[in-house]
Amino acid sequence: MTSTGMQIFGFVLALLGIMGAMVATVLPNWKVSADVGSNIITAISQMQGLWMDCTWYSTGMFSCTLKYSVLSLPAYLQTARTTMVLCCVLAAMGLCLASLGLKCTKWGGGRRSKQHAAIASGSCFVAAGFLCLVPASWFTNEVITNFLDSSVPESNKFEPGGAVYVAFVSAGFLLMGGCIFCMSCSASTSTAPSPR
């Protein structure tokens, strides 16, 4: 019964992780400028995401432009796009496998097949967590490096936005959910009586 509760807890953590990863993927605030313009015509805030750049003006208006050209983007942005999409796909596949591997469900076959599905889903969650952690770390490193570079003008300096923090938290949820899911299966196999 304890391993069933642990599986459900791991499933909830992984579900929160995949929802956070999907939100972080589409949010336009991976980088946020902190400068405030003194003129009413100048922009108050600029945000840059994986798919679009947005600008908020002092008049209350905002405009967003999509990043159409993939080849013109820097390497860290191309990598962040790819790994975040792969993270979401892998975590979704892990959720499908986890629903088959949960001990409290009726579908998914016998005990052994449920254990295999649960371990496979836990592995998917852990891999998705690492895929979410890589772009968040690399993106943060690039933003901080550019911020500390003295040759970059003050108006072009950015700081990490909310989407980066959502990606870090989502990666933690996915990693914890995957580890808990795998450990609940290994604990149940070690305590289960050997078949005769």
Answer whether residue 64 is part of any domain: no
Is the separation of the CB atoms in 90 and 127 below 8 Å? yes
Answer whether residue 38 is part of any domain: no
The number of folded domains in the chain is 1
User: Environment class of residue 179 by beta-carbon count within 10 Å: exposed (0-12), middle (13-18) or buried (19+)?
Assistant: middle
Which residue is it, tokens 């998705």?
A: 128
Per-residue confidence (pLDDT) for residue 38, from 0 to 100: 47
Answer whether residue 20 is part of any domain: yes
Give, to the nearest 10 degrees, the angle between helix 2-26 and helix 75-101: 150
Is the separation of the CB atoms in 47 and 27 below 8 Å? no
User: Environment class of residue 146 by beta-carbon count within 10 Å: exposed (0-12), middle (13-18) or buried (19+)?
Assistant: middle
- 73-99 pLDDT per residue, tens: 888 899 899 999 999 999 999 999 888
Q: Provide the 8-state DSSP code for 154.
A: G
- 142-184 pLDDT per residue, tens: 999 988 888 888 778 889 999 999 999 999 999 999 998 888 7
Nearest to 64 by CA among 77, 75, 53: 53
Is the separation of the CB atoms in 83 and 167 below 8 Å? no
Range 36-41 average pLDDT: 46
Q: What is the DSSP track for 86-144?
A: HHHHHHHHHHHHHHHH-TT-S-S-SHHHHHHHHHHHHHHHHHHHHHHHHHHHHHHHHHH
pLDDT at 118 over 90: no
Answer whether residue 96 is part of any domain: yes
How does residue 39 score in pLDDT terms, banded at 50, 70 and 90? Answer: very low
pLDDT at 138 over 80: yes
Token duo for residue 178: 């995957």
Distance CA 58, CA 24 (A): 26
Answer whether residue 52 is part of any domain: no
Answer whether residue 155 is part of any domain: yes
pLDDT at 107 over 60: yes
- Could you tell me the residue range of the domain that residue 143 belongs to? 4-27+71-186
Distance CA 169, CA 20 (A): 8
Which residue is it, tokens 């949820």?
A: 173
* CATH of residue 75: 1.20.140.150
Answer whether residue 17 is part of any domain: yes
Q: Calculate the average pLDDT of the chain.
A: 84
Answer whether residue 77 is part of any domain: yes
